[in-house]
Chain A
């Protein structure tokens, strides 16, 4: 039978805790003394909780619906895209056609102010206000719903991108730092080359080329395939940062006595890299990863903002995308200010913007706390 022999192989541990566990405990000790880091951790856990809640809902969470109002400008149902669910709106000062209609401001019939009803993941009412999207006709979008469902996509995509990028960087950086010489020189020049292309442009060219090529092959369209391609494109852009970071760390670690001892006892290069060098140079990677997890949604938002519709649908629930769409829309309202209609849907920009900002800044707080806790030189 396959009884685990590994349990017996090591020396008896007795009361001494596992050194990695002790390190973790020490980190936690310093982390919880840092107020900002604790705030960051709490906010992040809150978001993770939302993501888990949204993921366990039985509703179709891959795609959100835009609601169309049949009462726009006298009620012309022809303005509605076919198949979109319809809701009823009425302008302030007029009588509602029937019960359950939403009031819009007098000066602008194409926005629904926030209401304070709490009805998450519902298909009908629009709590917390709407996002109006042009030019596809007056289409309303449930912001609150979108942000809730966006939690799991946002977290999933950021963790996947950063995890994959860090893994690639870890491998390249370890190999480069450990072997040195020509290998190091070649790999680091490659990293230099990758780093001299601005990240955002690199993402754009990779995503557009991948989309164009796959589109011609004719196999594009399932939501998950497109998201997967997007994640891979982002990883291709992210790994060089980690490679450079890890290499610097490996250069220090490989001179340590325990690496020498491992080599003296005849360990193979692969074993030394895998068992001794990588685990000991991984902490800066964790810090950088925790920082980068916050920036991925910002990048997605920038792409959507530029009009590069990277997601399968326009209403894709991802925080960056929602924020970008609402901000693009705001420009339309600002143009209208010239002709005297200056009612700005402040909630449109504030609510998704605040969620995105809170997420990114809480991750930053946490990462800063981690850096302080893990790096004894910075500890005050």
Chain B
């Protein structure tokens, strides 16, 4: 089968999975109380009409006359319910939900939810708009940590397999076990604590960099996606606070990708700073995945090293390093890619916590803020939007993995 046909077939097979995920979220959404659903779609009620989502009105409230003797039905409520199709049979509601989800009508951020209280500039905006501000950062972070995963896990796994049962293999094994047992928030906080004290105690907790001579506190330098405004003093390498960073430092224009935008606007130091700020969170996110992947790389490498063609290569006098790198290494790559595809959901699941710890402007931060109950009620529109978005990322990543796999191993395409 030709590659293009294979890719198209994979893309068609994607449709039922996406519809299925939306069906699950639909089942969850439709078990929510109607008021919560109305808030999730239309945003929170205004100050002047706090009763607007109530099914019935007491006399004197809104359009209900004071002379009424019993509670009257709320016409607005009935209209909203009708507009949303909530009075229709379940299959029709399902159809409407799928249509809305596919056309990116994911609802509105409520005015008084936890996320809106924490970040006021997202108040009352469509969920897709808000997520589109935050998605590029997450993608950049994901690409960086994926690169770290591959760069660290594969050589380390090969090394462990070559030095089987020697100290280096044991060390890799212990690292692998700790990766399973260490929750991301604990690791991130420990690393943060160590670095803030390690770097800060020598410099009085203020770090001066060439592009920020005014200095920035070590804690905010390690935990923000942009430098603080005082770093942008004119005359420094950064030359003034950029006008292309909008909404209180959330979204950058024109592409939205912070590093790319900094480069486009010629602020090379800012681009460097952005990447440097990403390295620590990327490492922490990568740690868990590396730990799991390491075992698989090692085991598949051990299997391949016992195969006949490796023995032949050795017998022919091919240098050992070349055997490991080319003969065995390339053939064990298949397993690595398959496992990486399976691990992708686990990998993405680490983002909310890490972006919360490091206060990065990513989609995960939105999720973390929208369930932070101590700041306000849960924002259902945001958590469902984030879930759909992350699921899309995972599903597309799986397709990329499959295509890559088919490219590396032509036998797959025949099936």
Contacts and interface: CB of A to CB of B under 8 A. Distances in A.
Interface of A: 135, 189-190, 192-202, 204-206, 208-209, 212-213, 216, 291, 294-295, 298, 301-303, 305-309, 320, 323-324, 327, 330-331, 334-335, 337-338, 340, 342, 344, 349, 353, 356-357, 360-361, 363-365, 368
B147 interface: no
Contacts of B356: 305-306
A204 B374 contact: no
Contact of A209 (B28, B186, B349, B391): B28
A205 B394 contact: no
23 contacts: A135-B374, A195-B345, A197-B387, A197-B391, A198-B391, A201-B386, A202-B387, A204-B383, A204-B387, A209-B29, A209-B31, A212-B33, A305-B183, A305-B356, A309-B373, A309-B374, A327-B185, A331-B357, A334-B192, A334-B196, A337-B196, A364-B181, A368-B177
Contact of A338 (B185, B186, B219, B357): B219
Contacts of B29: 209
A197 B349 CA distance: 9
Specify the main secondary structure of chain A where it touches its partner: helix
Contact of B193 (A135, A349, A357, A365): A349
A213 B31 contact: yes
A337 B201 CA distance: 9
Specify the main secondary structure of chain B where it touches its partner: helix
B218 A198 contact: no
B59 interface: no
Contacts of B196: 334, 337
A150 to B, nearest CB: 15
A273 B346 CA distance: 32
A206 B374 CA distance: 19
B25 interface: yes
A199 B180 contact: no
Interface in B311-361: 345-346, 348-349, 352-353, 356-357
A368 B380 CA distance: 40
Contacts of A356: 183, 186
**A-B interface, 10 closest residue pairs, ranked by CB to CB distance from nearest:** A307-B372, A360-B181, A193-B20, A198-B349, A361-B181, A308-B371, A338-B217, A298-B183, A200-B349, A305-B185
A337 B218 contact: yes
B375 to A, nearest CB: 7
Nearest to A40: B177
B379 to A, nearest CB: 10
B322 to A, nearest CB: 28
Contact of B384 (A196, A205, A357): A205
B398 A196 contact: yes
Nearest to B387: A201
Interface string B374-415: 110010100110110011001100100000000000000000
Given A212-B378, A357-B178, 7 more contacts: A190-B20, A198-B349, A198-B394, A209-B380, A320-B183, A327-B189, A364-B181
A296 to B, nearest CB: 11
